Amino acid sequence: MDARNFTYMFYGFLAAWLILAAYVAALAGRERRIRRQLDALKRLLEDKEKERR
């Protein structure tokens, strides 16, 4: 019983941290996507303004 008790305690810790890590990973992925979109749009606008001149 005691060994199982200990194992489950670690599973519990692991579960909590995995969930938080998953959210952080989602945040990081979203950040990369947004930065890419932002840079692409900024470049697009620069090109369009150069064309107008």
Q: Taking the alpha carbons of 14, 18, 19, 21 in that order, is the dihedral positive or negative? A: positive
Interface pattern 29-48 for another protein (x via CB under 8 A) = -xx--xx-xx--xx-xx--x
Q: Is 20 in the site for another protein (CB under 8 A)?
A: yes
Give how far Cα 22 sits from Cα of 9, 15, 18, Å.
20, 10, 6
Count residues binding another protein (CB under 8 A).
31
Q: Which residue has tokens 């938080």?
A: 20
Instruction: List interacting residues with another protein (CB under 8 A).
Output: 1-2, 4-6, 8-9, 11-13, 15-16, 19-20, 22-24, 27, 30-31, 34-35, 37-38, 41-42, 44-45, 48-49, 52
